[in-house]
Structure 1
Amino acid sequence: MGHTASELAAATPATRDRYVDLLRVASLGTVICGHWLMAAVSADGIGNLLALLPPLQLLTWGLQVMPVFFFVGGFSHALSYRSLRRKADGPVYAAFLRARLQRLLRPTLVFVLVWTAVALAVQLAGGGDGRLSGAALRLVTQPLWFIGIYLAMVAFTPPLLRLHERWGWGAFAALAGAAALVDVLRFALGVPYVEFLNFGFVWLAVHQLGFLRADGRLSRPGPSSRPAVLAAAGLLGAVALVAYGPYPLSMVGMPGEKVSNMAPPTLALLCHGMWLVGAVELLRHPATRLLARPRAWRAVVAANGVAMTAFLWHLTAMLAVYAVQLGLGLALPEPASAAWWAQVPVRMAAAAALTGVLVAAFRRFEAPGKAGSSGPAGSGPRAAAGTTLCLLGILGLSMTGLGGLLDGHSATLIALPLTAPAAIGMAVGGALLVERSASPRRVRLRG
């Protein structure tokens, strides 16, 4: 039987860094609200509000907070891996991967399989070619890119943590330098395909900042503190790159743009992540005082237990709100018009309520399992292979969407074409491989 949020909050050890939990919930919540706001649905399809009103792209400098989530992931992964390494006598890589991925893969695969069934039903009924239905089937899987990247971060944690323990800030600087070199090769020399390397270098550099936080290297107080320096350097760097370089203003992808800061990531996005990390670290102490209050901490604990489920299903809720609006015969106002803006609070409230219903239905798949530090040691190579299959499948599905399940529609992942059925098979097969990486031998605990 699961524990209630109140019981979990009351049992929180004094040593727990509560601010990290708040950042995890707040970053996902910000992304959800940003997606609800940016969706510009009309009878012609689904567009992007930021493309219709380009000055609003400046809002992405506050709403694009995925770097904060990856930063928090680095912190949590460092603590988790070190805990396993201290307690176990023998290899722990497979156990680490299973423990970190369990709460991520189960709700994700349930989401994918449910939506695959819906997409098949829609297309078999001949309804997959409509402008709105087709756009919805493409849109609903797009946020999965974040989960694919996160899987890579988990897989690379042990070797990058070793580099961090030896070189500290030097490891972060090396990743940042590699990201800068990739952009030079891409924009100045026109080297083909090199830009895809920054899916690794940019996001792993942000992840590396989480390692630094885990060691207390981002927490020195004072006006010239490292968070302040990091925030200032990142913000100035991002402003200079956007103002004088080939980088767009938006920190999220825009339809039809030749260069995106997101896909693949650029040095400008890394600078954006640096300033966000510095900024949230500057707020650490007042936020920690707030979280010492029982009511505030209970709210964070409750939200943290369902945050991934809410993230996975929030676009489904938004699309359902628009579907109901159309089903009732209510006209959709022209996006960005006065009538459209007037409906925004109502649509967002309805989407939030429906997300709550979906969370209630699917939250059990996010519940933590019984895996722990004493779980089976298992095969590290098999777990790594399974994780690789998962991340490629989930990334591929975020690009293909579910609109072409029956006609062989494909998208290019790095340099290879991939269809949605193949991507789904890779994700499911990889997850099974991770689960079956356990061996009969168990990690022997010291002490």
Structure 2
Amino acid sequence: MSTTELPRAATGAGPVPGSETAGTRAKWRGWAGRLEAATPAHRDRTVDALRALAMLGVVLGHWLVSALVADPARPGVLTNHSPLSGWPAAAPVSWLLQLLGPFFFAGGYAAARGSRGRAALPWLAGRLRRLVLPVLALAAVFVPVAAVLPAAGVPGPTRQVVWSLVSHPLWFLLVYLLLTALTPVLRRLTIQCGLWWLLPLVGLVGLIDTMRPGGLPGWLTITVVPVGWAVPYTLGIALAERKLTDRAGAVLLPAGVLAGAALIAAGYPASAVGVPGDGWSNLDPPSLFTLALAAAQLGLFLVLRRRLARLLRRPAVWAPIAVLNLAAMTIFCWHQSALLAVSFAGLPFGPVPGLLSPVGADWFALRLLWLPAFAAVLVGCCLVFHRVETLGARRPAVSR
């Protein structure tokens, strides 16, 4: 028995000041230590940290650019607006929060490492299971909800907002699944040709960019999306296969910054995400600016990678990164549901500032106050649905 427990055990008095704090710290250290022990020694924690940062960027980005506005004249009606359309100065914020390039990079690295020395079909089946099961859980909830909403009298614009917020972010999954299936081919090309074979892909993206002002046909947009994201995905494969080193960061970072600045000067939209009124989006499909942004982000990661590796050796620093990676797909699938849940809870109160109010000069400041509420609901969703993500897993360790 510790000395801090003696007075309470002997006298029945209240807790000794500081005992709860010490106990909490001990529990935290124990939990972090268990995660540390469950982490394979060969695991690259820096890539996991990059994936966790990318996931947080996606979640925060969606929460900050999805402005659901309640219509006082039509009770129950929600419409979706972009706060970026009235605030061009927010474009640099989108450069920080649009982290899909690093996300695909981490995916390519993990796929190359995980498939090495393993039969293609069993490895692919395991990857697909981890990706698809959380989506099936989401569908099991929202397909019945979508069927019930009209009968419940929910207005059409509100139903459209629900469907858009829940389903639209999942576009990346189809691209991710395709690139995952192509990993053996992409890995072989990277091993045999280095990164030179990516030049035709970048050239194709540039060619498509020249056609954007006249509008792209839907079939061409769908075709080019995986081509664009194959570039950072393959860079991740190259890192896993030692065809890309940390020294490349000193080239990618300034090259990405200079290329991005030149493209904006040439007329590309400054925002990394779609903004009404910009004419076209850098994300639909990925443009040269998106690739330049990814190059700058990944260059910075490579420059800082060694320092980050030293930091992540600390169990207390590594533990939250490990948890975010274990629940990555669950977080992605349910983060918009958390936004909707809080928004619907505020709907009876009208245009709640920062939640359901029209976008104004103070909207972003007010929106920040709601982020803890969104996060709390998301944690609850993860506690309920994360078990689906781990169904069939071989062991409860930190895994790719």
Task: Give the Å deviation of 1:113.
Answer: 2.3
Uncovered stretches (5+) of structure 2, i.e. residues with no partner: 1-30, 72-78, 396-400
Equivalence map 1:366-381=2 (5 Å) = 366-367=389-390, 369-370=392-393
Q: Deviations over 1:256-308 (max 9, x none)?
A: 54311111111221111111111111121111111100111122112211122
1:9 to partner: Cα distance: 2.3
> Of the two, which has the highest radius of gyration?
2
- In structure 2, relative to structure 1, the CA distance for the partners of 1:363 and 1:93 (3 Å cut) is same
Give the distance between the partners of 1:360 and 1:33, measured in 2 at CA. Answer: 20
Contact 1:43/1:332 (8 A) holds in 2: no
Structure 2 counterpart of 1:238, one-letter code: G
Q: Could you say which residue in structure 1 is the equivalent of 2:87?
A: 53
Q: Is the Cα–Cα contact under 8 Å of residues 342 and 373 in structure 2 kept in the other structure?
A: yes
Change (3 A) 1:143 1:188: closer
Check conservation: 1:199, 1:264, Cα contact below 8 A: yes
Quote how far apart the aligned CAs of 1:189 are: 9.1
Say which of 80, 86, 90 aligns to 2:114: 80
**SS of aligned partner of 1:254:** coil
1:168 aligns with 2:207: no
Measure, in 2, the Cα distance between the counterparts of 1:359 and 1:48: 27
Shift in alpha-carbon separation, 1:42–1:283, aligned structure 2, 3 A: same
1:253 has 2:280 as partner: no
Deviations 1:63-110 (A, max 9, x none): 1001101001111111111131xxxxxxx3321221111111000111
What RMSD over aligned residues (CA atoms) do the two structures have, in Å? Answer: 2.3
AA aligned to 1:260 is S
2:127: which partner in 1? 100
- 8 Å contact from structure 2 (residues 228, 285) kept in 1: no
Call closer, same or farther: CA 1:139–1:188 in 2, change over 3 Å: closer
* 1:258-337 equivalent positions in 2, closer than 5 A: 258-328=279-349, 331-332=352-353, 334-337=357-360
Q: Does 1:211 align with 2:237?
A: yes
**Between Structure 1 and Structure 2, how many residues are aligned?**
355
Identity level (%):
36
How much does 1:319 deviate?
Answer: 1.4
Is structure 2 residue 92 aligned with structure 1 residue 65? no
Q: Are 2:262 and 1:240 equivalent residues in the alignment?
A: yes
Secondary structure (helix, strand or coil) at the match of 1:283 reads: helix
1:158–1:7 Cα change, 3 Å? same
Specify the code of the residue in structure 2 equivalent to 1:151: L
Q: 1:238 to 1:340 in 2, by over 3 A?
A: closer
Q: CA separation of 1:7/1:121 partners in 2, compared to 1, >3 Å: closer, same or farther?
A: same
Q: Give the secondary structure class of the aligned counterpart of 1:42.
A: strand
Provide the TM-score with structure 2 as the length reference.
0.82
1:242/1:228 Cα in 2 relative to 1: closer, same or farther (>3 Å)? same
Equivalent residue for 1:28, pick from 32, 55, 63: 55
Q: Look up the SS of the partner of 1:140 in the other structure.
A: helix
Letter in 1 for 2:297: L
The aligned amino acid for 1:275 is A
Distance 1:338 1:18 in 2: 40
Residue identity in the other structure for 2:138: F
Q: What is the CA distance between 1:30 and its match in structure 2?
A: 1.4
CA contact (8 A) 1:71 1:210 kept: yes
Q: Structure 1: which 5+ runs fail to align?
A: 85-91, 373-447
